[in-house]
Every structure is written in structure tokens, then in C-alpha cells.
Amino acid sequence: MSDLRPSRRNGGKSVWLRVTSFWPAGLVPVALIISGAVNITNGLHDSLGEFRRASTLAISLRSVGGTGQAVLGGILVLIAVGLFWRLRAVWVFALMVLTMTVAADIARHDRGLGLALAVGTLGLLLFTRSAFDRRTLVANTLVSIVSLVGALIYGIVGTYVLGQGFHPQVKDFTDASYFTFVTLSTVGYGDIVPVSPETKVFAITLILVGLSVFATALASTLGPALSGELSSVLGTRRDKVQAINHIILVGDGLFARVTAQELSRRKTPFVQLLGPNAQPFDPGQTVARSDPDEESGLRHAGIEHARMVVAAHDDDDSRNAFTTLLVKNIDAKMKVIAVASSTRNMRPLEMARADVVFAPALAGGRLLADLAEDTKLPEGFDDLLQRR
């Protein structure tokens, strides 16, 4: 199989690969983009000036449908980009924004295409939650910032829209911003207070949203840092693997374990890249503990001095494709062997520029068919058979 060198065409194929290789999770970002576009289109029909004529919660939410719905639509489109990278933090944020979108559409009595798309995308997001499992500090920080900005926009716009329900009345964005910051910071000076049922409900939701966003932001950004400090104190931090001319085995499933066992038997130098909770087949083998889906993980395993990378995630060809893309991004000349769980995924892995694509299930099926027909197996497979 020939080495496909980087090009604009291959770049386009790589984007398409991200959508198709982890089916049906790849539908989620596409559905979010469509849903966001519909919300933006519908929202542009209303103007910000209509906000001041709102007096009740239902009318307010309908009037917010102009700018608010457009803003939510833009956020959904931005979230879709993060979901292409299978980020867990983005998945959580998408769940929150979609829930808010559905609730807002229902409150506005909007039973159109926007609500149908939001509900369908929300169900698909929940169904495919296990596919979005990548956790990175950069992604967590970015999502935390976006969440904080979203909470501020929600508070400021909501306060301005429902300004007549406060005492004294909120008549400009300066007062709306002041009330939002005071509420989210839990200071509560009491100089601007909600007096109508609608504004009291809004204030409760603002406090809940604010506390949730701040708690999530602190946990996602400070949590990994505190964990790293704790690991340093306990002496569990691992330095970069020092190896030369070795094979990097990426994966912790059955096929990766069997491959590691065979490489050990042959005394072939290799480093198995494992996540924090995965266990190697042999406690004495060389292991790099890091995120297998991050470039830093490959560097931790010594990719600068490796001779080959084997992407061997079981039943997850999308991760094997992503590993291949990461390797080729670091070193386009590095040889990559990618495992395919089915023949239909061999072509996408080739598009990711894997030098060799191997389908072990297909190979095993052919060997089994040879046994069924009493065909002599190739040399080297006799130890795998037990005959009577």
C-alpha cells in the first residue's frame, strides 16, 4: 500500500474521515450544524428593539427568539467543531445548550423545524455519548470560557428583556450587566431586586446556571492540575520513555494485548501507550502512561526515536484513524500499521495515510476457512492449532 503524501485533497479527506469513521457519532456534529443554521435563520427575523415591548415571560421568550435564538444557533455551530474531535467537555456543553434550546423553543410555543431538529439531535447526542471520550486540559479550559461567556449573555439579555419586572426597572444594558455580575458572584447587594413572578423565576435559573457553570469550570480546569500535583507528591508521575528504534503499540484491547505478548516473546523492543486505568498484559513490560488520543501521549512514548507505530484499538477504527493522523502530523515518514475491525473501514484508514491496514478478523476468517477445507496453513501457525 503506497504512502499518501500530505495534500489539500488529503486534508479534505481527513475531515470527511472524522465524520464517517465513528458512525453514527459522526452524525452529531452534522446535525448540530444544521440545527444551528436553522436557529440562526429563524432568529434573524426578529430585532433587538422588540425586546422592550415584552411584559410576560412567554412574550419575552418569543421576542428573545430574534437575537437569543440566533446566538444559540451560533453556539451550536461552534460546538459541532469540537465534537468532530470527540471531546468529552464539548459533549457536556452541547448537552446543556441543546437542553436550553429545546426549553426555549417550547416556552416560545415554537413547534417548527428548529424544535424538531433540537430534540432529534439531543436524542442522538445521548445515544452516542460513549463515543465522545477524549479529555484534554486545553479543551476543558476553552469550553469553560465559552460556558462562562454564555452564562453572562444569558443573564444580561434576560435581565434586559424582563427589565419591567425589577425594582427599580432595568432600562439599559449597564444595569442588566450589573445585576448579572452581582447575582453570579452571589454578592447580592439588594439595590435591584426581582418583583414579578417571571423575574423571580429568571433569577433562580440564573443562579442555577451560574453555579453549574462555575463548578464545572473549576472542576475541569483545576482538577487535572491538582491531580498532577498529587501524582507528583505521591511519586506516581512517570518521565518520558527513553527508548530507541522501538515500536509504539497504541491500544489496550484483546488484540493489542496479544500483539504485546507476541512482541515480548520475540524480544522486539516496543512501548505500549496506555491510558491511566488500562492494564498491560505483563507488569514488567515498558509502558507509557498518557492519553493515547493526544499528540503529547505519542511524544511521551518516544515517537521521535521510534521506527513504527501500531494503532490497535479494538472495535474502534475511528481511534485508529485518529492515531494515524496524529502520527503523520508529527512525522509524515513514520510507518503506521492500523488495525481495521471490518473491511469497509480499510479504505478510510488508508485515506488517513496508514502505510499498512490490517483486518485481523478477515485474516482469521480465511485461516478458519482453510482449516474447514483441510488446506495446509502457512508455516508459523502450527502452534496455534490443537489436533487430535
What Rg value do the Cα atoms of the chain yield, rounded? 27
Amino acid letter, residue 97: V
Task: Read off the pLDDT of residues 113-134 as tens digits, 9 standing for 90 and up.
Answer: 878 888 888 888 888 877 776 6
Number of domains in the chain: 2
Q: Which cell is 81 given? A: 467543531
Residues 289 and 204 in one domain: no
Distance in angstroms (rounded) separating the CA atoms of residues 188 and 68:
26
CATH number at residue 337: 3.40.50.720
Q: Is the dihedral of CA 255, 260, 262, 268 positive or negative?
A: positive
Nearest to 318 by CA among 299, 292, 295, 345: 345
Nearest to 68 by CA among 121, 119, 110: 110
Residues 66 and 207 in one domain: yes
Q: pTM above the 0.75 mark?
A: no
Structural domain contains residue 104? yes
Residues 203 and 255 in one domain: no
Burial (Cβ within 10 Å: 0-12, 13-18, ≥19) of residue 120: middle
Residues 160 and 289 in one domain: no
Going from the first residue of the chain to its last (388 residues), give the mean pLDDT of each consecutive group of 10, the final group possibly shorter.
39 49 69 82 54 45 50 74 74 77 68 81 84 67 76 85 89 92 84 88 78 68 54 46 84 86 89 81 79 84 91 84 89 92 84 90 81 74 65
**pLDDT at residue 222, as a whole number:** 61
Range of the domain at 228: 8-234
**pLDDT at residue 335, as a whole number:** 94
Residues 132 and 264 in one domain: no
The answer to whether the CB of 272 falls within 8 A of the CB of 249 is: yes
**pLDDT at residue 274, as a whole number:** 86
Edge-first strand order for the sheet with 356-358 is 287-289, 270-274, 247-250, 308-311, 335-339, 356-358
Structural domain contains residue 386? no
**pLDDT at residue 43, as a whole number:** 61
Residues 192 and 104 in one domain: yes
CATH number at residue 166: 1.10.287.70
Residues 139 and 283 in one domain: no
